Structure 1
């Protein structure tokens, strides 16, 4: 088998996570996209995306980086810099705008669910959440 066929198969498997996903609580819609060989996930919708007036976008006020606290939450990257290797998207980070914390993270496809395991230190000490592919709008 030629190297290009193997590389194309690897890329096809890696790109299976591309598209829109709903968080386990169904309170966020995230688009996973690819830039170069890395995967990212940006916030498209959230039940808490706007202030009580329903028009003003909420800001990233909990961010540990004070220079980012004025940015709108819409399109903020929640998943950052994942690299695919043998069925796992690894070496990435997950940002939680509610706490302002960033966690190490591993992503795996489990049947039709996306398992996102965030952790500090070791994956065994982390927590998994399961996202479902979103239906087209």
Structure 2
């Protein structure tokens, strides 16, 4: 009986530990409410796509373009649907690092780390060089 109980507890703990890395997977909204990002896992890395914009179209009714991108070939692509988070690695304890975040408003890409504060709050810190030289904003989980 003790062996069965031990095996059951081990399985529960293992499943919980295995699933923790995927806790950021889902849909998140930035603090301004202008955009929503869907975070997914591909292999061992996490990525995020800008799947919704409060104002997806420009003043002419056309989809907003990535016009600030320094790569001229990418300036005609729509902002909605853009992958803005790339290459994050689960470092454990709700920390995801070694990734980048792209800001379509400026056309700049920053080093980034994400920290899951709880199931519904995700701190995003974009920075240049070292994490001290950056800015943090808190995204909230979208409940659908």
Query: 3-state SS of the aligned residue for 1:132?
Result: strand
The whole-number CA distance in structure 2 between the counterparts of 1:116 and 1:109 is 9
Residues 51 and 90 from structure 1, CA distance in 2 versus in 1: closer, same or farther, beyond 3 angstroms? same
Pairing of 1:54-133 with structure 2 (within 5 A)? 54=61, 56-87=62-93, 88-111=95-118, 112-133=120-141
The whole-number CA distance in structure 2 between the counterparts of 1:105 and 1:49 is 25
- Report how far residue 70 of structure 1 moved: 1.2
Computing the radius of gyration over CA atoms, which structure comes out larger, 1 or 2?
Answer: 2
Where does structure 1 differ by over 2 angstroms across 4 or more consecutive aligned residues?
Answer: 5-11
* Unaligned segments of structure 1, at least 5 residues: none
Alignment RMSD: 2.0
Length-normalised TM-score, structure 2: 0.84
Length-normalised TM-score, structure 1: 0.88
2:3 matched residue in structure 1:
none
- Report how far residue 118 of structure 1 moved: 0.5
- Report how far residue 53 of structure 1 moved: 3.8
